[in-house]
Homo-oligomer: A and B are copies of this chain.
Amino acid sequence: MRALRKIAPGKGFSLEHIPVPSIGPTDVLIHVGTVGVCGTDAHIYHWDTWAERRVKPVLTIGHEFMGTVAAVGDAVTAFAVGDRVSAEGHIACGICSLCRTGQAHICERVQIIGVDVDGAFADYIRMPEANVWRLDPSIPDAWAAVFDPLGNAVQTVMAADVSVKSVLITGVGSIGLMAIPVARAAGAAKVFAVDVNPQKLELARRVGADETFLATDPELVAKLIARTGGDGVDVLLEMSGSGSAINNGLAAVRNGGVAALLGIPSDDVEINLAERIIFKGLTVLGINGRTMFETWYQTQALVTSGRVDLKPIITHELPFEEFDRAFALMRSGDAAKIVLTL
């Protein structure tokens, strides 16, 4: 079968032919149909410091995907050949206290497909039954392929509880963009978006942001406070990982508000904890992955009810073989979300 692989340290991926994976009694073999290209894949493609430390070639990459069940292990009961599915890419240990109390998404022994074990950019992938998700027939393939990042947006929005609140989203890459219609659908009374890229801000407005601001605007915090009756926003959804966005975002949140941090800073961040968090009585939430499977049900409800539309966000749908073009488009900033069809 075809598989997009990192075969050695350094830039780029190779399209290889490798054997179809074998499956155990509790596994499901999935024939992959469409995959989503993530920033994580780009880190591995360009082989940056993070990738160098974390990824051990040879590895099939990719973790956002949908497809069809091709085979099931003897002990599998919930899925059958032909089922149209996606899957949660975090393979948790299943036996630690976090796994046994509904928090498998932050299991300390988690293995992520396409990062720690062979991933989804291939004709077939093996997944444990516990990770597989049956797709509603009304969901298009391209949308189903990006349930993983959409789930990140849902996890962040739902953890912060945006219902009838003003919401600031800092960083509108693909997850930040997805968070806009998700926050609107989940009940946000007002959505503000901030980014360094004016094109992304235009797209942000198109998918439902009430107002957008350049991250470089020196009056940013003052404007956000003015827009919210002098109080500051109720909720910050931080999706950039930038230290200055985090500090500005915290400054723009009202006393007693909530800040959900999803973006990953590459370095330590200096924070005036007294002024930014303690005196304000803030709640700061670290967000990682997606609660299994609460966010999947929520994501499904948002999409099938028509409350969330991904069309403007999936800007490119390319054939699998054009993966190099996909990574070039991502780097250029011209693409929001790219999916590849196998």
Contacts and interface: CB of A to CB of B under 8 A. Distances in A.
A11 interface: no
Given A25-B74, A270-B268, A278-B286, A305 B189 contact: yes
A100 B328 CA distance: 38
Interface in A173-214: 185-190
A52 interface: no
Chain A: interface residue count, which band?
35 or more
Contacts of A108: 255
A307 interface: yes
A1 interface: no
Contact of A274 (B154, B231, B264, B302): B264
Contacts of A254: 98
Contacts of A255: 98, 103, 106-108
A281 interface: yes
A82 interface: no
A298 B301 CA distance: 25
Contacts of A288: 278-281
Question: What copy number does this chain have within its complex?
Answer: 4
A162 interface: yes
Contact of A287 (B190, B278, B291, B292): B278
Contacts of A265: 273-274
Interface of A: 24-26, 74-75, 77-78, 94-95, 97-98, 100-103, 105-108, 154, 158, 161-166, 185-190, 229, 231, 246, 254-256, 261-262, 264-266, 268-274, 277-289, 291-294, 296-298, 301-302, 305, 307
Given A24-B75, A77-B94, A164-B301, 15 more contacts: A97-B293, A98-B231, A100-B293, A100-B296, A103-B256, A105-B281, A158-B163, A185-B187, A185-B189, A190-B301, A190-B305, A261-B273, A264-B274, A269-B270, A283-B284
